[in-house]
Amino acid sequence: MSIERLLAGISIPRLYKVKQIFEQPRLACWEEELLQELRQSEVLNRLTIGQRIAIAVGTREIRQLPDLVRILVRQLRAAGAEPFIVSALSSDEAATAEGQKRKLHSLGIDENTVGAPVRSTQESVFIGESPSGIPVFMDRYAYEADGIIVINLVRPNACLFGGREGGLMKIIAMGLGKQLGAVAGRHYGHGGGWQNIDEFSHMALQQANFLFGLAVVENAYNQPAYIKVLHSRNLHQQEDALQQAAKRLMPRLHLSGLDVLVVDEIGSHVSDNGLDTGIVGTNPNAAGRRVGSIAVLDIGEASRGNGMGLGFADYTTARAFGKFNFEQTYQQALQSGFRAAAKIPMVLANDRLAIQAAIQGAGGISVPRLKVARIKNTAALDTLYVSAALYEELRGDSRFAAEEEPAELAFDAGGNLF
């Protein structure tokens, strides 16, 4: 019997389109907020003419990043400094100097867009050992500069559950540490990597001339809620406060007891691990799983074949498997220690079969009682599609708003949704 015939009797429920409503603080004019932060903090007053200033750009995709960097470059030049850009990308995203430049270019960062040269290298300088006895490294260009400024989005990181998470400290410790720093921090700290980030970043701040950090916190709609200049002398404490704000504003899935979750795409553009396990309840470091079966339908084009996160699914498609770049994905899995994220789940021929297999795997629940949700990815949670059983639970909940009447999923002749 073929798989298609085996699953032919599995009904897929009609889904309602609903909106999740999140808190939405937003800067009216983020450019003016940035200039005001620079003025009030007086961080540029300490610069002298001719100082070479490294601007370290992190991995997070801030929507306004090119404009933000360009404004900062202009202010530094006005103060007499000579700014240049260095990569603070994690080694799994850019394991070579040319790879770093390509990644920065994909973020909109190059000399033409920001007005400062990009200096890219994987060469690092050993700056000492952390209190735990782990070697700490720093990008050579940044270390040899007269001053360093770091820019990143502050946001919770599912890979670092329980401590220091995504933000300035992470890119100081691991991004500026280049490949050697990232491998050391992750290899010695899987399950407690946040402690290494704390120790590495403290040492880096002591050993190099960090001027300040520029931190961005976005709301659940990827709009800037806060832009803050963080002084290097108490950067850790300031970032902790921003992390709390970021956790409050981050998108989340206001659903529980899901039988099936359908995820249209995963990818490195969505989360460090491709799929935010903190949102779907599959974080190996957290208690409990909130979803019965997960079907991942695709790897997003922006991920360029990085299939981290596919291992958290129970079912996937031949399309996603065909995009899975083993070299790139396994390199990240080995360097990060999150090997489970790179595993291959059951592969079905198309979207319809993957969804039917997930429903079957949920344990024979009847369609009227089946709690199914469909999302684009774990970073885009404002629009959901939910089954009738879930819709009844959401009615009257102020965090949701119904958009459309229920409809059948529209599969093409090949059994795919897109």
pLDDT tens, 298-346? 999 989 899 999 999 999 999 999 999 999 899 888 877 789 999 999 9
pLDDT of residue 364: 81
pLDDT tens, 144-155? 999 999 999 998
Task: With CA atoms as reference, report the closest residue to 55 among 17, 12, 85.
Answer: 85
pLDDT tens, 367-390? 999 999 999 999 999 999 999 999
* pLDDT band at 274; cut points 50, 70, 90: very high
* pLDDT band at 107; cut points 50, 70, 90: confident
SS3 133: coil
CA of 261: how far to CAs of 164, 247, 358, in Å?
Answer: 29, 23, 8
The rounded Cα 99 to chain-centroid distance in angstroms is 18
Enumerate domains of the chain plus CATH numbers: 3-22+251-407 (no CATH), 30-249 (3.40.50.11440)
Residue 405: Cβ within 10 Å count:
8
CA distance 250 to 380: 10
* Residue 43 pLDDT exceeds 80: yes
pLDDT tens, 146-200? 999 999 999 887 655 545 567 899 889 888 988 776 666 665 544 455 678 888 9
Residue 28: both structure tokens together: 């009216």
Q: Any idea which residue has 């003419």 for tokens?
A: 49
Mean pLDDT over 81-103 rounds to: 79
**Residue 332 is which amino acid?**
Q
Residue 16: both structure tokens together: 């309602």
Residue 206: Cβ within 10 Å count:
11
pLDDT tens, 44-58? 999 999 999 999 998
